Amino acid sequence: MKRLAALCCLLLAACSEGGDHFSAAPDTARQRDTAPIQSIRVNKLSPVDLSPLDVAYFPVDYPVLKMSNPAVGGPKARVIYSRPHKGGRVIFGGLLPYGEPWRLGANEATELELFEPAVVQGQTVPRGRYVLYSIPGPNEWVIVFNRNIYSWGLKPDASQDAFRFTIPVQGKQEPLEHFTMAFQPSTGGADLVMGWDDVRARLTFLFKS
């Protein structure tokens, strides 16, 4: 009887220890749910930028058109720019103060390449490469073509400004998280549409061919 009682005591103790051990075990599923997101390992060769570089062509998607139809002819215009994201910030009138120059993107200066002359607001713009920047306002933007190409950031030198155009802006549009530039075909040419958050602006290019 004493042996049986001792055995029962041992079993009860083991169950008690097992229960305590189980309750103290880490809840791995909960840890996975609450663990902070790990940042991507830094690429030591060349870090990935948070504002990726992008290209807008006219005709739209020109490289794809060229591969599917070699007789399509050459491109007329191309914009190379970076795409910052909103990230919950107030963009126009906040992050980008009204009346101050903005590089129309991030990092390297935004560049426009015209592969043939274009007419913009009655002015003939020769073929070539230009830095694009803007001076945003609540109702209109000034778009500047500048000759200081292959540059980073924006330290505008007005002596190198080639053209200035004033365009209206539209508010209360569908919000865009990332800054976007895209060509849209229009009569006789294309509109370069610039959009971020709920604001849109467009600059019209006319091409002779």
The span from the CA of 47 to the CA of 82, in Å, is: 15
The span from the CA of 60 to the CA of 75, in Å, is: 9
Backbone phi, psi, residue 193, to 5°: -95, 130
The mean pLDDT value for 181-192 works out to 97
Q: b/e map of 184-201 (b: 16 or more CB within 10 Å)?
A: eeeeebbbbebbbbebbb
Q: What is the dihedral of CA 37, 43, 46, 50, to 10 degrees?
A: 0
Q: Residue 106's closest CA among 80, 78, 82?
A: 82
Both tokens of 156, joined, read: 């505008």
Determine, yes or no, domain membership for 12: no
Asked if residue 205 lies in contact with residue 110, where contact means CB atoms within 8 angstroms, the answer is no
Determine, yes or no, domain membership for 181: yes
Asked if residue 122 lies in contact with residue 129, where contact means CB atoms within 8 angstroms, the answer is no
Which residues sit opposite 134 in a β-bridge? 102, 143
Could you tell me the pLDDT band of residue 41, with boundaries at 50, 70 and 90? low
Determine, yes or no, domain membership for 186: yes
Determine, yes or no, domain membership for 40: no
Higher-pLDDT residue of 158 and 48 is: 158
**Number of domains into which the chain is organized:** 1
Could you tell me the pLDDT band of residue 101, with boundaries at 50, 70 and 90? very high
Backbone phi, psi, residue 49, to 5°: -80, 145
Determine, yes or no, domain membership for 175: yes
What's the confidence (pLDDT) of residue 40?
54
Determine, yes or no, domain membership for 23: no
Determine, yes or no, domain membership for 8: no
Peptide bond into 59 cis (omega under 30): yes
What's the confidence (pLDDT) of residue 14?
45
Determine, yes or no, domain membership for 6: no
pLDDT tens sequence across 7-36: 444 444 444 444 443 333 333 333 333 333
Quick one: CA dihedral 152, 153, 157, 162, positive or negative? positive
pLDDT tens sequence across 47-75: 766 888 899 999 999 989 899 998 888 99
The whole-model pTM stands at 0.76
Give me the residue label for tokens 């009655």: 122
Could you tell me the pLDDT band of residue 133, with boundaries at 50, 70 and 90? very high
Structural domain boundaries, residue 109: 53-206
